[in-house]
A and B are shown apart, each in its own frame.
Chain A
Amino acid sequence: MQKLHDALERVGKVVLGKDEQIRLAVACMLARGHLLIEDLPGMGKTTLAHALSRIFSLDYQRVQFTSDMLPADILGVSVFDPDSRRFELRKGPVFTQLLLADEINRATPKTQSALLEAMEERQVTQDGESRPLPQPFFVVATQNPLDQGGTFPLPESQLDRFLMRISLGYPAPEAEMSLLRAGDLRERALDMSPALTVAELMALMAEVEQVHASEDLLDYLQRLLEHSRGCGWFTAGLSPRAGLGVLRAARAWALLDKRKYVIPEDIQAVLKPVCEHRLQSASGGTAGGAASRLLEAVPVVR
């Protein structure tokens, strides 16, 4: 546990002033979820992904998505080997532990869905042969919310594959000052020494599942989900999968707080990143502020 907090602290020295987002990203990893970062270029998305891979000593691959990309560019391709007279798979970048999928919305739906299938199944099927992906397997995808020209926005069904969506945003003035003093921090991210081994990380992930969620807490979560369906604010309410996602994320959040049980604060902390990309406002457009409206409307204790 202590190592985990050291890790958080050290990532915080590279991605300045974003403790909340770092914590969320780590919670997302602990909950075995994939992360979508929606932000403008240059806000530190890549630095964060680098830092996370280094600190947990994970293999790291980066794919810059473009519109002429094919599924094989990610998954790999079978090549005929004349010596052995057999087809051999050249593994694509997806065979890694942490994949940074930059600007995922630039790729065609076909390519997107190849990646998303891999994310869900945690295996790649090619030529009738299934190959498991390494353990653990995380995808950190980014997309630019403003520049929508020539992009293929992810449909809701695929957004659902990401456990959380966060955005980093501009740094606070003090953080920006120290950033300017320190210069580019990406180099430092690459030089970071690991804080946890992969085995330790896997152990923590197993521990997340042991975090206790009481009846009262499940009741609160259930009422939140129900309210999202009955209130008429959204085109569709939260799905059961979203509910499970909230619970997993809340468990991870509780563990980060060194607790063996989930409290309503944990639910409230993760509700926004877990739910807002799954909701669409009934009046059109995205459901900004949806989580805080839900939290305001639903009593914590019945």
Chain B
Amino acid sequence: MRVYQVPQHAFLLLVGGALLAAAPHLLLGPPWLRILLPLLLLARVLIQRGRLAMPGRMVRVVLLAGVVLGTLYTHGTVLGPEAGTCLLIAAFGLKTLEMFRLRDAYVLLVLGYFVLATTFLFYQSPLAALYVFVVMVLLTASLVGINRPETGARSRTHLRLASVMLLQALPLMVLLFVLVPRIAPLWALEFQSEGARTGMSDSMAPGEVSRLTESTELAFRVEFEGAVPSPAERYWRGMTYSLFDGRRWSQASPGGLPRPDLVIFPGQGTAPWHEQLQAQHAAMADTDAAPVYRYRVVQEASRRPWLYTLAVPFVRGPARGIGQVRDFRLVKEGDIEQRFAYSVESYPLLTAAVGLPDWERDFNLALPELGNPRSRQLAQRLFDAEGGDVEAYALRVLAHFRQEPFYYTLEPPLLGGNTVDEFLFDTRRGFCEHYASAFAFMMRAAGVPARIVAGYQGGELNPVGNHLRVHQYHAHAWAEIWIDGQGWVEFDPTGAVAPERIERGMDRFLGREMGALQNLLSGAAFSRNPLLARLRNSIDYLQFSWQKWVLGYDESSQMAFLERWLKDVSPLRIGLVLLIGTVAILLPVALWVLLRRRGPPRSPLQREYRALRKQLLRSNIAVSEGLPPRAVSETVARACPAAADAIRAWVSQYEQAAYAEHADAQALQRLRRLRRALRWRLRRSALSG
């Protein structure tokens, strides 16, 4: 059997396309794959050049087993997205060693498209989309190439044809993207966790938040409808920590409480505190005077359920899977594994009406029995000095931070056993968590319910898109205390020590504190050069828009969009619009194809010549269109000696008919007969060979 030869003009496109389709995965995948795939492609190149024979069945089976074992070794499984694509790519590489027929080349290319599509499992940026498009042009060009096996064809014409085809398909793609209903995936893809992600955790010990400031990763972006709050108002609440063990603050609640007392998901009943909040929300929404922030947060994957919001948040629109928590926060049902967007409106409500039941009061007063004696004494003394006025006492403690020599620093000294005592009286150098922790401790020591709030403070305003960017280094911790008649009131002791951190933002502060390298990473260096700053902002805006409009175009936003345009969204309507849109796009193309200038029609003799060429193509004999008849017959005779006489007879008959002076009337029939004889010869030699 003759082994299929990829035409030379398509081969480079095929190998290049295969390599580039797999390249993004090679960056992520295991090292052995990074070496294996190029080696397999190199082997294929050598086979094409005739330097290497096709590997035998044994070799291929061993390679396949090795690939499966390698995947098991790396990922522990062959299922799941990472292991699956790893196996897919390795198998894709192996398939190149199995191209015995034209059919195998088709399989390889279809696999190539599939490999390319899996890129989106791991990369979703606009750049990735552009990359996929370019590689798709390459793959399509090689598909064009293997369908035109003549030797004279050129790679460049394949590329041009492929680009034109894909560009023609673009409007159709947009139409399908917008209209075809989103269907929930048939199976959930569970990514293997890539170790701990940076971000807030559900507990906090001294030194942990300051470590976050080393990360320049994006936490979330926020787009405001209307005014953007001033920097000092940008307190993004994520969690509250109520349990203190002497060193670590943790998020916890007393055991045995019914769930509705803490968090309410839509459609899961209600509780008095929740009704209270909703009533207040309704009242506030009616009066236009209330200061309100309406915004949409697009949060990066955090592998945690916490959502970040201002003041007292309420979800806008359908709140599927978002719950309201008793301490005025929102949480998602299940962790945020992918970028997640939610719309919120926030009111600065008085929260006294929600009430402070005994269990909550006790829980937010609890301190370890022992430890930090000096702080407890100080708390008692200051509280007594203010005559037991809670608000005055809290201000007095802040004044203490301000008046005594306290310093705000990214590199606080390590603390021993009595963390609060050591910080308050000895080191006096700390980051936000030290101040928040000490403040909350002092409150509780004096009998004032207090807890820590953790989240982000600030955010960098992108003037291009008028949205905020909040990075991990904006992480912050502060405190809130219960004041009878007012409810929970926030106090930020960091603001007392380092007001510029709050008012001018972490970016400026970091710019002063950090070394040159971190400076560069955080983008602080960019903000000094106006041109670079604008460029950076524009790129950020592009990414944000991409996330909002393309990645964020999910089921609910699709419904909203379609309802606006179609009024009544029914399958029939969507189908109709799809049909009309498709016709509107394809009609001009069809007209152009039908009406474009063509040469004179082909004569029967010319059609007969076409038929012969098709015949040869089916038998896998590539003949350039520029080859004259006699050269064609020699090519065929070389490729298939059994058919040599048949093709020579046909060609000499054709030559007589087409070029000699006195063509006879029977020539066409004779040619057809000769062609049938040739077909029979070609088939027999294909079967026996």
Which residue numbers of A lie inside 8 Å of B, CB to CB?
A: 212, 214, 216-217, 260-265, 268, 295-302
Contacts and interface: CB of A to CB of B under 8 A. Distances in A.
Given A296-B152, A302-B602, A263 B659 contact: yes
A265 B606 CA distance: 17
A300 B651 CA distance: 13
B659 A261 contact: yes
B247 to A, nearest CB: 76
Contacts of A214: 658-661, 663
A299 B148 CA distance: 13
B252 interface: no
Interface in B628-657: 628-631, 655
A239 B269 CA distance: 89
Interface in B572-609: 599, 602-603, 605-606, 609
A300 B625 contact: yes
Interface in B209-246: none
A301 B606 contact: yes
A302 to B, nearest CB: 5
Contacts of A298: 625-626
Given A216-B606, A265-B630, 13 more contacts: A212-B660, A216-B658, A260-B661, A263-B629, A264-B629, A265-B628, A265-B629, A296-B626, A297-B152, A298-B626, A299-B625, A301-B609, A302-B606
A301 B660 CA distance: 15
B63 interface: no
A297 B660 contact: no
A284 to B, nearest CB: 20
Given A216-B605, A301-B606, A263 B626 contact: no
A216 B626 contact: no
A217 B152 contact: no
Given A297-B152, A300-B625, A261 B660 contact: yes
A301 B602 CA distance: 9
Nearest to A210: B661
B625 A216 contact: no
A296 B153 CA distance: 8
Nearest to A212: B661
A299 B658 CA distance: 15
Contact of B629 (A260, A297, A300): A300
B280 interface: no
Contacts of A265: 628-631
Nearest to A211: B661
Given A212-B661, A302-B599, A302-B602, A268 B628 contact: yes
Task: Specify the main secondary structure of chain B where it touches its partner.
Answer: loop
Contacts of B609: 301
Contact of B655 (A212, A263, A297): A263
B661 A216 contact: no
9 contacts: A262-B659, A263-B630, A264-B628, A265-B630, A268-B628, A300-B626, A300-B628, A301-B609, A301-B610
Contacts of B629: 263-265, 300
B624 interface: yes
A295 B625 CA distance: 9
A247 to B, nearest CB: 13
Which of B625, B658, B660 has the most chain A CB atoms inside 10 A of its CB? Answer: B658
B539 to A, nearest CB: 38
Contacts of A216: 603, 605-606, 658-659
A263 B602 contact: no
Given A216-B606, A301-B606, A302-B599, A263 B628 contact: yes
A66 to B, nearest CB: 44
A13 B631 CA distance: 29
B627 interface: yes
B624 to A, nearest CB: 7
A214 B603 CA distance: 13
A235 to B, nearest CB: 21
Nearest to B612: A301
Contacts of A300: 625-629
Contacts of B625: 298-300
Contact of A297 (B602, B603, B626): B626
Nearest to B624: A296
Nearest to A220: B628
Nearest to B613: A301
A240 B661 CA distance: 24
Given A216-B606, A297-B152, A302-B599, A261 B661 contact: yes
B604 to A, nearest CB: 12
B562 to A, nearest CB: 47
A262 B655 CA distance: 10
Report, nearest first, the 10 A-B pairs whose CB atoms are least far apart.
A299-B625, A296-B152, A264-B628, A212-B661, A301-B609, A296-B626, A216-B658, A214-B659, A261-B660, A265-B628
Contacts of B658: 214, 216-217, 301
Contacts of B659: 212, 214, 216-217, 261-264
Contacts of B655: 263
A295 B661 contact: no
A268 B624 CA distance: 14
Nearest to B153: A296
B51 to A, nearest CB: 27
Contacts of A260: 660-661
A299 B660 contact: no
A212 B656 CA distance: 12
Interface string B405-423: 0000000000000000000
Interface string B655-689: 10011110100000000000000000000000000
Contacts of B602: 302
A263 B629 CA distance: 9
A135 to B, nearest CB: 28
Interface in B612-629: 624-629
Nearest to B658: A216
A212 B663 CA distance: 12
Max chain A C-beta neighbours (<10 A), residue from B610, B655, B659: B659
Interface in B103-151: none
A299 B626 contact: yes
A261 B652 CA distance: 13
Nearest to A301: B609
B8 to A, nearest CB: 13
Contacts of A296: 152, 624, 626
A49 B370 CA distance: 120
Contacts of B152: 296-297
Contacts of B626: 295-300
Interface centre among A261, A300, A301, A302 (most CB of B within 10 A): A301
A299 B626 CA distance: 5
A301 B603 CA distance: 10
A246 to B, nearest CB: 14
A217 B655 CA distance: 10
Contacts of A295: 626
Contacts of B624: 296
Nearest to B654: A301
B668 to A, nearest CB: 13
Nearest to B660: A261
A79 to B, nearest CB: 54
A18 B356 CA distance: 110
B601 to A, nearest CB: 9
Contacts of B627: 300
Most buried by B among A214, A260, A298: A214
A26 to B, nearest CB: 22
Nearest to B630: A265
